[in-house]
Chain A
Amino acid sequence: MTLSAQFFADRRNRTDALIWVGFLALPLVLGEWEVTQIAQYLTYGIFAMSLALIWGHCGLMSFGHAVFFGLGAYAMSLSTLGMLPGLEGWTSSYLGIALALAVPAVFANLLGRFLFYGRGLQGAQLAIVMLAVAVIAERLMARWPYAGGMNGLMSVPPVNLGLFGADIEIFDPLPLYYLTLFAAIAVYIILESLVRSRRGVVMRAVASDEARTAFLGYDTRAVKLSAFTISAAVAGFAGALFVAQFGFVSPPLIGFGLSTEVLIWVALGGRHGLLTAFLGAIIVRLAENTLADLLGPAWLLGLGLLFVLCVIFLPRGLLGEIYTRLTLPRGTADTGQR
């Protein structure tokens, strides 16, 4: 069997590849406006994948994941606006992206060292501590004149892929869409291979029983710390891509509100799969876009109730449930629980 035949023998791979091909073909059927919208939602999708990595695969639920998204967004904005101390006027998108990966990763690593080591925080405590961290970050950003304070930073330039003074601004809907989509696919491939590696198995072991995994000789804190760091870097990357499209960064991007929103996207989509979380973010945003005008405040009411039902009856998420059915090897009965 050739390598590609082997790859496509797995129904998961076939389904995932089909979905990505679908995204590649999307601009063929949609207008420019919709493509721009979806390009923006793709960045939310990347953000959702980063949360699914630590939540679904490592058991770390966080009520403050937007901290990393926001840090990435601010890092990108400050560097592309040429506001970095010592590097004034230096407006490289590459530098911005590098910082948007590095700053959240370093912050997450330090925070993780503080929270996981020593006596270590357990599930709910971590969730609420991260909530407090998100509120602190939002308040501090709102009071920091350098980062624009309450008003945030405006007219952030789009991604510029040019090197050595050449300008290749990615601004038109189609190039923008494909740039973001390729970024999403790259993130997906990297994270998916992490999840399917031995390290991924250990991560899920930590999620299901940390004490037992530690008894088997794994350094569970290091596993959690590395997952947390990688996830933060990906969230920061998503933030950078988002702000380059949106052109505007403000304190709510780093705060509690967005943190809970991403939690809902991932829970509705399905936290145990990267792709289901990704699709969850995009579908909820699309639905919000069309239904929020139609229903007004009732939309959020419905979303809240749907979320409650989903948590109680479909812990794998709406899409996760469908995805599991679709990707079960032929002839296996669904046993209900994994």
Chain B
Amino acid sequence: MDQALLLLLDATNYVLVIILVAMGLVIVFGLMRVINMAHGELFLLGAYTLVLLQQAGVPYWIGLIAATLLVGFIGLLMEELVIRHIYHRFLDTILATWGISIAIKQGVVLLFGPGAQSTTAPITAQLQIFGASYPAYRLFIMAVALLVVAGTFYLFFRTRFGLAARAVIANRAMAGCLGVPTRTFDRLTFAYGAALAGLAGAVMAPIMSVDPQMGLGFLIPAFLSILVGGAGHLAGPVLGAGLIGATDSVTAGLWSPVMAQVVVFAMAVVAIRLFPGGLMGRGGPR
């Protein structure tokens, strides 16, 4: 019973983490039609910012906010320096952002070395849930993920900012005619997606090994969730991450983590082939 409950909690935790990573990705991918292969490295930068600030004696909570803002700013730079030139060349966004990802990863190796850094969680308590003991910090991560999803939905579907941002995406020329500063919205939307990656990295840093390779492990599941769920709607990746994360955790628990990855990726390939637009989507990305 305890085993099953722990498995369920771990699965929920993993699903929510993937949603957290995928959320930033889907904003950039679904809304701006940019495939950001550097998203994993933005995640990495968030984690390293937190580590660096903690080593300097800054409290965790301030580090969390600083990591989010800093990575958001880096996203802004990326948009201005690179992405802006290639909005109309969809496939090239994959290549350019892949180049950025290599550069960021190597930059981190140069500054911090290839080894793993560690950082401490601000909450170390164990909670008793139905008789099973579970780290409270993981529950905090789940709460952050849920808040981010709710906040993003609120921002894009219930505020004037979101309305304008979606208007720019739906019809740039018309939005411009109506007085929406379209370039500003491109920048802000991209920076928002990047900031979410930074937040995710900083939140995850205490419970994983912070090393230069940590980004890729989340990037691929996040991408597959988006493609499985459909990029046309923000709810797509939530569904996709649910399916992918749950299958992964259950297979890993019953078989082995490596085979879980194989099973999940193979399933995702089949799902993408059968529903190219995603389970939630009408036409998919082209």
Q: Which residues of A contact B (CB under 8 A)?
A: 61, 63, 114-115, 118-125, 127-129, 131-133, 135-136, 139-140, 142-143, 260, 263-264, 267, 296-298, 300-301, 303-308, 311-313, 315
Q: Interface centre among B95, B102, B276, by most A CB within 10 Å? A: B95
Question: Which residue of the partner chain, among A129, A135, A300, A311, contacts B96 with CB atoms under 8 Å?
Answer: A311
Q: Are B82's CB and A122's CB within 8 A?
A: no
Q: Check if B269 is an interface residue, CB within 8 A of chain A.
A: yes
With A132-B224, A307-B102, A312-B96 in contact, do A120 and B262 touch (Cβ < 8 Å)?
Answer: no
- Residue numbers in B under 8 Å from A120 (CB-CB): 276
* Beta-carbon contact of A128 and B223 below 8 Å: yes
Q: Across the interface, do B269 and A301 meet the contact criterion of CB distance under 8 Å?
A: no
A123 and B262 contacting across the interface, CB-CB below 8 Å: no
With A297-B109, A308-B82, A308-B99 as known contacts, state yes or no: A123 contacts B220, CB within 8 Å.
no
Residues of B within 8 Å of A300, CB to CB, are: 102, 105-106
Determine the distance from Cα of A71 to Cα of B107 in the docked complex, in whole angstroms: 33
Per-residue 0/1 for B96-137: is the Cβ within 8 Å of any A Cβ (1 yes, 0 no)?
101111110111011000100000000000000000000000
* Interface pair B95/A121, CB less than 8 Å apart: no
Known contacts A119-B276, A125-B227, A267 near B103 by CB under 8 Å? no
From B90, B91, B266, B276, give the contact of A121 (CB < 8 A).
B276
Interface residues on chain B, size class: 35 or more
Known: A260-B98, A307-B102, A308-B100. A139 touches B272 (CB 8 A): no
Q: Is B4 an interface residue (CB 8 A)?
A: no
Interface residues of B in 230-286 (CB under 8 A from A): 258-259, 261-262, 265-266, 268-269, 272-274, 276, 284-286
Select from chain A the residue with minimum beta-carbon distance to B89: A315
**List of B residues within 8 angstroms of A264 by Cβ:** 99
Chain B residue contacts of A143, Cβ below 8 A: 258-259
0/1 string, B208-221, CB within 8 A of A gives 1: 00000000000010
Cross-chain contact B110 with A298 (CB below 8 angstroms): yes
User: Using Cβ atoms and an 8 Å threshold, which residues of chain A touch B11?
Assistant: none
Cα separation A84 to B258 with both chains bound (whole Å): 26
Q: Are A298 and B106 in contact (CB under 8 A)?
A: yes
Q: What number of A-B contacts does a CB cutoff of 8 Å give?
A: 119
| A43-B86 Cα distance, complex, nearest whole Å | 32
Given contacts A125-B276, A127-B94, contact A304 B284 (CB under 8 A): no
Q: Do the beta carbons of A136 and B262 come within 8 Å of each other?
A: yes
- A128 with B224: CB separation less than 8 A: yes
Q: Lowest 9 CB-CB distances: which A-B pairs, in order?
A: A304-B102, A304-B103, A308-B99, A307-B99, A301-B106, A132-B265, A300-B106, A311-B96, A311-B95
CB–CB A123/B286 < 8 A:
yes
A49 to B13, CA, bound (A): 44
Among residues of B, the one whose C-beta sits closest to the C-beta of A137 is: B262
Q: Which residues of B contact A313 (CB under 8 A)?
A: 85
Complex alpha-carbon distance, A263 and B101, angstroms: 14
> Is B35 at the interface (CB under 8 A from chain A)?
yes
Structural contact, A122 and B96, CB atoms closer than 8 A: no
Indicate which residue in A132, A263, A267, A312 contacts B85 across the interface (CB closer than 8 Å).
A312
Distance from B211 Cβ to chain A, minimum over Cβ atoms (Å): 14
B240 CB → nearest A CB, Å: 13
Chain A residues with CB below 8 A from B223, complex form: 128, 131
B92 is an interface residue with CB less than 8 A from chain A: yes
Q: For the complex, what is the distance from the CA of A326 to the CA of B107, rounded to whole Å? A: 37
Bound complex: CA of A133 vs CA of B284, how far in Å?
Answer: 20
**Are B107 and A301 in contact, with the CB atoms below 8 A?**
yes
Q: In angstroms, how far is the closest chain A Cβ from the Cβ of B207? A: 23
